[in-house]
Structure 1
């Protein structure tokens, strides 16, 4: 009797294992009939039993069910569950026959669902979660492609770019840099923003060679996008390549003779090159080609005023050019001893000072009129206007125009 009882016990255990395997088959059949909820219930039951919880087919069927749910509901959570299930199945049986035959399409659906969730979060400007989904999509892709199952999921260069973009917007600069660098290596050309952001990241890293190389690539891919010319000028400016910068600017003003902003910027850059200052604003030695630079700057200021005669900043800048030259001659005059003060050289310098002061006056007055007509000035314009008024006050004082000195003083107090 005891022997019979043991046999029956073994039989019941075998029956339970068969029953659980039947659950796996039932789940697979219900999946084929699109009864996804029933299939899900059966496979979860099979995963609770010790005889089927470590079976590769059980996990593979679970992956198929959740892949179908993810595709139907566009659910990234179900897609990730499908991925983890397929991954578990292949850990148990790396050469699972069903996986070799059909896993590529299923894994692609999982990858695409998770990637699309990344795009959805991107559109809502939820940068952190967008990048997290893109990162998970790449993990799924890399996992499948590394399994040598006879297929692969191709790299989506757009997703690589948007992953980098989302990471950058989220403040994750290192992740952004890696993804954007990959997108550039893949020669992604659909979004010029790739090269804008990547160039900025190279600039932040102090990698000047790749900074300018990125700009050069962008100029080839997007020749009509003016941002890359501006970025190239910024590169030349920040790296001290003034000759290249000025050559480029000269070419630009020749190509765009009616661009007021460009003409004024060119004039100011020439002026700054002629009159260098250190980081504290103190004057540095003049360059050897000082006169050449100043003459070019004067011509460019005049050209900008031909385009926009009433512009306050342009009028101030040209007035300041003459005024600063007058100040330089006056310093030279004041450095002379008493005997030299009566020399022909001194008289020549005095004449130049007076002439240059006279030249600067109408431009300062026009700048004064322009700035005072504004209802509200930005901080930078306010500083420029203040400099303009101080210059006017000094010129009026030299000329003995005391009533105008008082009027300017009141404007300065009000400012």
Structure 2
């Protein structure tokens, strides 16, 4: 009798196990037949039973059912979360390469991709609020996704919702996603939006460490130090660095930039020239040095223009002659900048003006045509991207 009882107990357990596996199959069939509520009830029962709770097929099937309900009924945060939870359960059970891992991954990409496409279309139509909502949906599917996080941040910034933008941008840093543009946006929002100079400085210094070749963050730090009343700190930092590395052209360029911000043009000129002596092909140093003389000429020409006729007859010609001298001094450095960066529009347009003011009309016209062509090429590229 005891053996018989054990036999019946075994049959009962096996029957229950078969019933639960049968529930997974029935749920699959109900899904195929479009009976989504029945499919949901059956799969949830199987997902709670000890015999099928650890079967990846159960959770893959559950994910597809919730995804099908989502497609049928429309967006629901709960449905997205349940579908994503089911696929995540599969990933935790099996190794990459397993059949259900691959199938689940395809379904996740389908779900995530649909929301990202929705967000991209809304962004292109300048419906930035809708774009953010769509990218947030994508993040319910893959919370650590940097693509949707980035786009949500950019769309939030377009809405001038700076705090939300910061939330997404800082999240990117937490995800070990670093780009110069992201740091630039964070620094700008902290400085101008939140008026938090200390935080802006902190992020600028982190950006400097991440991107040591980028002069922009060095300049931003100098500017922030000046605007927060820490001019001596800025000077000391640069001068200490120069003492340790006297042949670093970038340091002299930053010193020149510092003096320019402090409206000490003579010291700025000296520092820029030193940077050029160390590195004759330093674009920014050549351009800034040329601009130094160009601005001197522009100031003199403006004074001459503002004179009344009597004063102009006495002093105007002398001012214009002095201005021409400064333009002549600026010209070789603008030309060197053009040689270094032949498609830099700012250099071309400024050089066009210099040539025109010096009466070198053929060269001025050449620069005008070059600028026009670059502008037309830029528009064509933008059209191609669309």
Larger-gyration structure (1/2): 1
TM-score scaled by length of structure 2: 0.50
Point out the structure with the larger helix share: 2
